[in-house]
Amino acid sequence: MQTCAHWYSLEDMERLLAAYITHDQDNGGSHFVRDVVKEIRGLSGTAKQKAVLDACGMSRMRLDSLCNGDGMDHKAVAALLKAMKDNSAEVKPSALGVIGKEHLLQRFCEYGCDEKTFTYKKLTDVDNGVPMVVETAFAMLRDESAYRHIVTGVNWSGNVLKFESGNFTQKILPQYIEENGCEDWDIVFDARGSLAEPHTKKKVPLGTLDVRKYLRDAETGEDVDLSYEEVDDDFPTCGPNNRFSAILFIEKEGFLPLFKKVNLAKRYDIAIMSTKGMSVVAARSLVENICADFDVPLLILRDFDKVGFAIAATFQRDTDRYQFCKKFKVVDLGLRLDDVKKWKLIPEEDFYKSDPRSNLRRNGATKEEMTYLYEGCRSSGRKELHYGKRVELNAFHSDDLIKWIESKLAEQGIKKVVPDTDTLHEAYARAIKVAVINQVIEAAMGDANEAAENHPVPKTLVCQIRKQLQKKPELPWDEVVAKIAERTVAAAGE
């Protein structure tokens, strides 16, 4: 789809024209204003081009004439943009196309949803000249014990999706809810910022679920009855020794709640790491030192696509940003083409700026995998469009994903950690000490309750607290109460 003049602000248009001019300077080219105009939707005809150029007086003007000593000529660019908008129509939302109710229903059924519970809504709008189509669908899983999940996606073409920051959540989504009777939707947002209480060390992330929990706790209040935490009977460890036997890297954080629900890390004694896509330098440093120094493998889960192969490669090959100094075992669990075929996973379209095969080959793809991922090239206006397929981890049903991962872990011989004899003897001796200490603490709780009953509250307690807070306002009131109680107990010789 060609871009539309109504999608551009003055600043956007100046950036576009500046890019053309820079390209000409770097490559010895020479564009005219007409060359840009004819690329705009609705202005490809000669008559339209003439009307635009006559209106702003740029019929034979070279593009670089729009530059002055301070950059772009704002007045001239504004006149050009106005002329293009005056002589072309806004793109209607219908021109964007839709995914469609029938297609979404088909995919929901493939996910194991009950067709009878399926609902679909579509909203179309034009916001500041930018057309949009928002489609939502909902259905219940047939298997009520299955892990609940939300599947989301945003499709866009060129500049069609051009939301200002917060526009979707602050305007489009609320408008959709109001117009389609969806006020009962329970929408939650990730945390942005936090609230910190004084003295208690409590920090509340300002996300929907965190705030709800805080408000519930604030309403009910904390239990003031004396309680104690038993001495932790976990054997103290840091790092892989006596704790985990592998690091499992996954490129998508969205699967972590599922892994937690099925106790994946605990059942296999593996550490799970995610960096939201391409690995960061800190992640590479961590796995290099942990995996090499403690002889544990790095297991990688990623999508079957160009980026997925690149993610796996960054843990095995030096880059400008990070060079490996130690050797360690890296296992690319996939997705690979064999997995896609075995589990009959459904692919989706993928597009590339250029032929991806050399990159795929360098990052470990087989010839058959390259043929699957890259299908060819076709012309799109003055450009070549490279296209193919990709398969995401999301293509698995939740239960199938866990089965697939477990089969991969079994292939690698990942098992529960059991320390050597000396460590077990040390751990047993420590556990005996912990058990004795916890019994003593439990017995002391009875003595503490009796002492509290034998010491009535001082009549001057409030005055003592106010006096101390006046001297030291940085103290919390409960710390002052504790100090008064300590003096009382000490004086009684208890």
Does residue 223 form part of some domain? no
Residues 288, 367, single domain; the answer is yes
CA–CA dist 285, 319 (Å, integer) = 13
CA 441 to chain centre: 44
- pLDDT of 153 above 70: no
Q: Six-digit token pair at 32?
A: 């005219």
Q: Six-digit token pair at 54?
A: 């006559």
Q: Which residues contact 484 (CB under 8 A, 6 or more apart)?
A: 458, 461, 464, 465
Pick the residue with more confidence: 266 or 201?
266
Residues 407, 267, single domain; the answer is yes
| 100, 103, 104, 106 alpha-carbon torsion, rounded to 10° | 160
Percent of the chain residues topping a pLDDT of 70: 90
State the average pLDDT over residues 17-30.
81
- pLDDT of 81 above 60: yes
3-state helix, strand, coil in the chain (%, to 5): 45, 15, 40
pLDDT single digits (tens) 342-391? 999 999 988 888 999 999 999 999 999 999 999 998 765 556 788 999 99
Residue 457: the pLDDT is 92
Of 261, 248, 252, 7, nearest to 152 (Cα)? 252
Q: How confident is the model at residue 69 (pLDDT cuts 50, 70, 90)?
A: low
- pLDDT of 162 above 70: no
Contact between 326 and 289 under an 8 Å Cβ cutoff? The reply is yes
Does residue 195 form part of some domain? no
Does this model's pTM top 0.85? My answer is no
pLDDT single digits (tens) 428-452? 999 999 899 988 988 888 888 888 8
Pick the residue with more confidence: 131 or 374?
374
Residue 158: the pLDDT is 40
Among residues 385, 411, 437, the one where a domain terminates is 411
| 340, 102, 96, 111 alpha-carbon torsion, rounded to 10° | -30
- β-pair type (194-196, 271-273): unpaired
| Domain hosting residue 432, numbered range | 421-491
Residues 373, 425, single domain; the answer is no
pLDDT single digits (tens) 316-336? 999 877 899 999 999 999 899
Lowest mean pLDDT among 172-181, 336-345, 455-464: 172-181
CA–CA dist 430, 237 (Å, integer) = 13
Convert 209-245 to b/e letters by CB count within 10 Å (16 or more is b). Answer: ebbeebeeeeeeeeeeeeeeeeeeeebeeeebebebb
Percent of the chain residues topping a pLDDT of 90: 38
Does residue 375 form part of some domain? yes
pLDDT single digits (tens) 475-494? 999 899 999 999 988 888 76
- Number of domains making up the chain: 4
Does residue 374 form part of some domain? yes
Of 23, 84, 75, 31, nearest to 55 (Cα)? 84
- pLDDT of 157 above 50: no
Residues 322, 367, single domain; the answer is yes
- pLDDT of 71 above 80: no
Residues 267, 345, single domain; the answer is yes
| Average pLDDT of every residue of the chain | 85
Residue 103: the pLDDT is 86
Residue 161: the pLDDT is 43
Does residue 228 form part of some domain? no
